[in-house]
Structure formats: C-alpha cells, structure tokens
Amino acid sequence: MTARELRALDTADLEARVKAMYEQVALTPEHEFHFETGRGLAEHLGYPPADLDRIPAAALDSFAGVGYFLDLAAIAPGETVLDLGSGSGTDSFLAAVATGPGGHVVGVDMTAAQLAKATRLAGDLGWTEFREGYIERPPVEDGTVDCVISNGVVNLSADKPAVFRAAAAALRPGGRLALADIVTDQQLPQGITCDASLWAACIGGAAQREDYLAAIVAAGFTVETVRDNDYRFVSASALGATTTYGVRSISLLARR
C-alpha cells in the first residue's frame, strides 16, 4: 500500500476486525462467512483425504485456507517449519506429520482463540508449538527455519513487504517459502482498500498479482512456481469483487 492509503486505512480497526472474525472461525466455524471453512473446503482445494485423516478433526473444522501448497513445500523429516498465520493449526499439523519428531513446527498467530485451540489440539505432537505474534515480525530467530508456509493470511497484512522480509530473515540460505494467498488481476479502488471490514474478509487487502510477486523477489527470493487455485468466495459482495477485479487464489513456491 502507499503511505496515503495506509493513513486512510485504520490499521487498529483492521486488526480488531481480523481478530474478531477469526475468533469466530475458531469458536463457531459453522457460522456463515464471506468464505468457506472446514474439511470439505480442504478437500476441494486438493488436500489429500488420507493426510487430513492424520490430524485433529477439530482443527479442520476451523480451516479457512485459500489453496493447497504443501506439495510445493515438500517438507522433509527433521526440518524446521514456520507457519505464518497458523490459525487453528491445520497446515501446522500437516507439516508436523511430514517433519516427524525429529523436526520442529512453529505456528504464529495474533488471535488468542485460534492459538488456544491449536495448542489444545497439538496433544502428543510435542515438536509442534504455537506462539502469539505478528507475521510481519514472527517470534523466531533469524536463519533457523528450513521452510516458511502460510495460507490465506498475507493478504490481511497492511505491510506485505515486511512479511516477506521477515520470512527471508527466518530462513536458512536455500530455504523456501510456500504459500497460498488471495491476489487480484486489477488494482482495487481506494474505497475497497481503505475499508477494514473488506480487509478482514480477505478481499480489501489483496494485492495485484504482479506487485505481490515483486514484493517476494524484492525480499530476496526467487519465485519458482506459481499456480491458480479453484477457490470460491460465497457472499454476494465477495463474488462481485471476484468478477469485477479478478480476485483469485494462487499457490506458489519461492526460494531464498
């Protein structure tokens, strides 16, 4: 965002709205949102059902991702993984299955209800932990992570370049960034980008695809793979934005 747009967007209001919405996703996932939730969504996006069977069902109930990317991440046993915006833990738990007890998975989220649910569900996965924090400055040491993952969260940040710089800093040389997120074909008008309620719905904060990829490159990554996802919003206003501005989901792999 430009400095002018950041001034117009009430970032404190944005944070409060995002926390409130994703508290609902954690506590009452059956509630109607602008987006789908749950295991059915995960399977529609391409998550293998056999993998989903290996993680807590309650985490899947609150799944609100926008794409599948773990095949691109190719997480190996023993690796350290950082999940930015880990929510109730679906992708963190799947990463933990891949790393095994010799690895370490750290999920970072700013919403207390999501953190509490994920921590409770972690159970015997002792190599998985969830920390309160912001994706622009995750609470991990620099150069200690093999793979950074994220699902439908970077679009919620008012400072996306900071998120990608933080991901690059956390990674070891040669480490990788694998994520799914919402982008647009056309620049959203200021009436949308300065509306905190639309940001919280994963629409108002979506960057143009070219700008999004450029921010990743500027942070020191080489983008290796980008693909479109079959993702759908469900509310009338969200569907309207999808049609008018080309709001869509992508998954990508980049390497530091």
Segment among 64-73, 155-164, 203-212 with least mean pLDDT: 203-212
Flag whether the pTM goes above 0.95. no
- Please tell me the distance from the alpha carbon of residue 155 to that of residue 252, in angstroms, as a whole number: 14
Say which CATH number the domain at 15 has.
3.40.50.150
- Please report, as a single letter, which amino acid is at residue 240: G
Length of the chain as a residue count: 256
Confidence band, pLDDT 50/70/90 cuts, at residue 4: very low
Domain carrying residue 39: 3-255
Indicate if the pLDDT at residue 53 is higher than 60: yes
Percent of the chain past pLDDT 70, that is, above it, reads: 84
Structural domain count of the chain: 1
**Residue 175 pLDDT:** 98
Q: What is the pLDDT of residues 81-134, one digit of tens each?
A: 999 999 999 999 999 999 999 999 999 999 999 999 999 999 878 899 999 999
Structure tokens at 166: 């933080």
The predicted model gives 138-158 an average pLDDT of 96
Kindly report, residue by residue over 96-106, the tens digit of the pLDDT.
999 999 999 99
pLDDT at 197: 57
Could you tell me the two tokens for 17? 């709205």
